[in-house]
Each structure stands twice: as C-alpha cells, then as structure tokens.
Amino acid sequence: MFTLLQQPNLKGDTPLHLAAREGHRAVVEALLDAKALHLEIESGVGTDKAMLRITNKEKDTALHEAVRYHHSKVVKLLIEADPHFIYGANSTGYTSLYMAVEREYEDLVEIIIDTSPSSDHKGIEGRTALHATVLCRHQDSAYKGL
C-alpha cells in the first residue's frame, strides 16, 4: 500500500525519484523528513527508508537518479538516510557506484565509498567498479579504491 508520498507515476517514479533526478536537495530532505515521522511498525523499517528503496520500472532507486544526473549533495543525503542498505543494480545491471565510476564522477565515487559501508560494487557482466575504473583508464581512482 503506497502513501501519497510513495505513489509512483506511470514510469514507476515516486516524488523522491523526481526530486533526486532534478537535484532538488531541499525537496528530497522534506520528503525524507515527512516520512520519518511515520514508522512502519510491522517491518521495523522506517517508511522513510522504505521510500528510499522503491525502484521504478527501470529498477532505479532515487540514488541511481541522483548519481545519473551528478547531484552530489543529493547522493550524500540519500546514502546518509540509509547507509547500510545495499543498493542493487538497475535493469541495465548498474549499481549507483558502478554508474559513478563509469561516468567519471570521482566526487560521487568518493561520497559513495566513504558514506556507505555496504556499497555493492557490481556492475554489468559481473564487472566491479574497479573493472570500470581500469577500463576507463582512471588509474588514480583505481588505486584510491584499493
């Protein structure tokens, strides 16, 4: 059962997806704060965290959207809201970390690695974020990631 704040559009995007995609940090923060007031008693997971985990039809979370459009403040805010959640791959096989590495968003790679102790480093065809770094010839980042 979706609340109004979790209600997806035809593409499966929630208000959080849309705010993250557009880089509206204040809106993302307001959505998370509004949901934090109501706890999901049955699952033991705050509905703010449940909202972070909702995927759209492409299996993108709000974090995927923030990374895709290079919104560093939103990326940090989303990860800090649920740092232990393992954000999985979307329908094209990309995790948010893998996407950041492949797009050469070094600031986002650093935020994801530093902020999320449980970040999933897998990408398409079984490649890891380190593979993407080397394939894209970002040796400095590859060494930093080790």
Q: Which amino acid is at 118?
A: S
- Give percent above pLDDT 70 in the chain: 68
Residue 141 within a domain: yes
Sign of CA dihedral 37, 38, 43, 47: negative
39-72, pLDDT tens digit by residue? Answer: 544 445 555 688 899 999 999 999 999 999 999 9
Residue 122: inside a domain, yes or no? yes
d(CA 63, CA 67): 6
Per-residue pLDDT tens over the stretch 84-98: 888 889 999 999 999
Query: Domain residues for 136?
Result: 12-145
Measured distance CA(43)–CA(46) in Å, rounded: 8
In terms of C-beta density within 10 A (0-12 exposed, 13-18 middle, 19 or more buried), how is residue 111 classed? buried
**Within a domain: residue 34?**
yes
Q: Which residues contact 135 (CB under 8 A, 6 or more apart)?
A: 127
* CATH number reported for the structural domain that contains residue 95 in this entry: 1.25.40.20
**Domain count for the chain:** 1
Q: How many residues does the chain have?
A: 146
Asked whether residue 3 is assigned to any structural domain, the reply reads: no
Rounded to an integer, what distance in angstroms lies between the CA atom of residue 116 and that of residue 3? 27
Task: Confirm whether 90 is domain-assigned.
Answer: yes
